[in-house]
Amino acid sequence: MLGYAIRRLGLSVLILVLVMSAMYAMVFLVPGDPASLALGPRATPELKEALRERMGLDQPVLVQVGHFFGSALRGDLGIDVWSKRPVLGQILEVFPNTLLLGAVALGWAFAAGILLGAAAVVWRDGWVDRLLGVLSVSVIAVPSFVVAIYALIVFAVWLNWLPAIGAGEPGDIAGQARALVLPAFAVGVGWAGYLARLIRASLLEVMEAPHIRTARAFGMSERDIVFRHALRVAIVPTLSVLAVGFGAILSSAVFVESVFSRPGIGTLITGAVEKRNYPVVMGTVLFMTAFYLAVVTAADLLIARLDQRVRDVLRG
């Protein structure tokens, strides 16, 4: 187990270093210099030179890469080119918002997925099952930011039930909760459908097990069998999907956050991309990649602890 853990962690660190180096290499392989691009055609050479210096672009590539990783290890992700504030500070300021959105979205999606998946199995091959089947494929297919836009129009603009923009004032818990409803719905709805499908498939497999047949022979109702006995077993395989799901959910949060002008990692990075604010973009990508890798690695280690058979570091 320890050997596996070390290899798994080593792989994650290696991936992180590779990815960030590749990203850095890309900056230098591209024709055109980032400083001129950021400043536009009317910038004077002095202005460009000053910005290049601020971005650290006047040093050799390897020095820059080394410097980037060195400072990242000390928790320094550089300084915002425009606002001159530390990048890490900005990230940490908005990250809790994104984390909360992701957690609430995944949380309700998981709960709804379990209920709907179980309902489909209780009434399997009936109209409930068929309807849920079509519904889950549909919500998986439709992009979350389109759901967000329609939810915004209906519930915030027309009905005026919930706030259209922002994440609520600090300290105002009720306001924050209200501001969270529509974004969390939009981000989670696709996952609710996906998890419902997974739970259904997993349940159907469990329902073939001998102990379920025994329960049935004792005359237990289908609903009791599903909820009391089968569900507990059927949930386990879907847990491994949740870690990956969290990464995907953070990705759709980027779009949904900007639909609701909600402060978060998504609005931070998209604003920075438009202004070609390299330190903020690179810092955010590094931070999110590290966070995502940490979640996936932790999940892999947990699963490996639970199931001794999974010990292949690079799963195909």
Partner 1 sequence: MSCAADDTRLPARRGIGRALLADPLGAAGFALVAVFLAMALLAPWIAPYDPVALDVKAKFQPPSAAHWAGTDHLGRDLMSRLVWGARLALGIATTSVGIAGALGLVLGLVAGYGARWLDGLLVLVFASMSSLPMIFFALAVITVLGPGPATLILVIVLVSFPAYGRLIRTQTLALAGADFILAERAMGAGPGRILFRHLLPNVVGPLVILICMDIPVVIMLEAGLGYLNLGVRPPAPSWGNILSDGYTSLRQAPHVIIVAGIPLVLATLGFTFLGEGLRDVLDPRGAGRRRP
Per-residue buried b or exposed e for 102-132, using 16+ beta carbons within 10 Å of the residue's own CB: bebbbebbbebbbebbbbbbbbbeeeeeeeb
Q: Which residue bears the tokens 């309902």?
A: 119
Query: Six-digit token pair at 95?
Result: 């990250």
Q: Which is nearer to partner 1, 20 or 225 (CB)?
A: 20
Is 204 a binding residue for partner 1 by CB under 8 A? The answer is: no
Is 316 a binding residue for partner 1 by CB under 8 A? The answer is: yes
CB of 217 to partner 1, least distance (A): 30
Is 269 a binding residue for partner 1 by CB under 8 A? The answer is: yes
Is 260 a binding residue for partner 1 by CB under 8 A? The answer is: no
Is 92 a binding residue for partner 1 by CB under 8 A? The answer is: no
Residues 6+ positions from 159 with CB-CB distance below 8 Å: none
Is 151 a binding residue for partner 1 by CB under 8 A? The answer is: no
> How open is the CA angle 36-40-41, to the nearest 5 degrees?
90
Q: Which is nearer to partner 1, 229 or 255 (CB)?
A: 255
Q: Which is nearer to partner 1, 184 or 248 (CB)?
A: 248
Q: Which residue bears the tokens 């180096």?
A: 21
Q: Give the whole-angstrom CA distance, residue 288 versus residue 183.
A: 20
Among 68, 95, 108, 145, which residue interacts with partner 1 (rule: CB under 8 A)? 145
Q: Give the whole-angstrom CA distance, residue 110 versus residue 108.
A: 5
Query: Six-digit token pair at 3?
Result: 């050997």
Is 135 a binding residue for partner 1 by CB under 8 A? The answer is: no
Among 250, 262, 264, 304, which residue interacts with partner 1 (rule: CB under 8 A)? 250
Is 7 a binding residue for partner 1 by CB under 8 A? The answer is: no
User: What are the two backbone dihedrals, phi and then psi, of residue 79, each rounded to the nearest 5 degrees?
Assistant: -115, 135
Is 259 a binding residue for partner 1 by CB under 8 A? The answer is: yes
Query: Six-digit token pair at 99?
Result: 């984390």
- CA-based radius of gyration for the chain: 24
- Print the binding letters for residues 157-196 with partner 1: x by CB under 8 A, - otherwise: x--------------------------------xx-xx--
**Window of 175-183, 206-214, 218-226, 240-248 that interacts with partner 1 by CB under 8 A:** 240-248
Three-state SS for 71? Answer: helix
How far from the centroid of its chain's Cα atoms is residue 152's Cα? 21
Among 71, 176, 240, 289, which residue interacts with partner 1 (rule: CB under 8 A)? 289
Among 13, 30, 209, 239, which residue interacts with partner 1 (rule: CB under 8 A)? 30
Is 248 a binding residue for partner 1 by CB under 8 A? The answer is: yes
Three-state SS for 41? Answer: coil
How far from the centroid of its chain's Cα atoms is residue 189's Cα? 14
Residues 6+ positions from 128 with CB-CB distance below 8 Å: 119, 120, 122
Q: Which is nearer to partner 1, 179 or 196 (CB)?
A: 196
Q: Which is nearer to partner 1, 232 or 275 (CB)?
A: 275
Q: Is the sign of the CA dihedral 2, 3, 8, 12 positive or negative?
A: positive
**Window of 70-78, 117-125, 138-146, 208-216 that interacts with partner 1 by CB under 8 A:** 138-146
* β-sheet bridge partners, residue 242: none
Residues that bind partner 1 (CB under 8 A): 11-12, 14-15, 18-19, 23, 26-27, 30, 34, 37, 134, 137-146, 149-150, 152-153, 157, 190-191, 193-194, 197, 244-245, 247-248, 250-252, 254-255, 258-259, 269-270, 272-274, 276, 278, 281-282, 284-285, 288-289, 292-293, 296, 314, 316
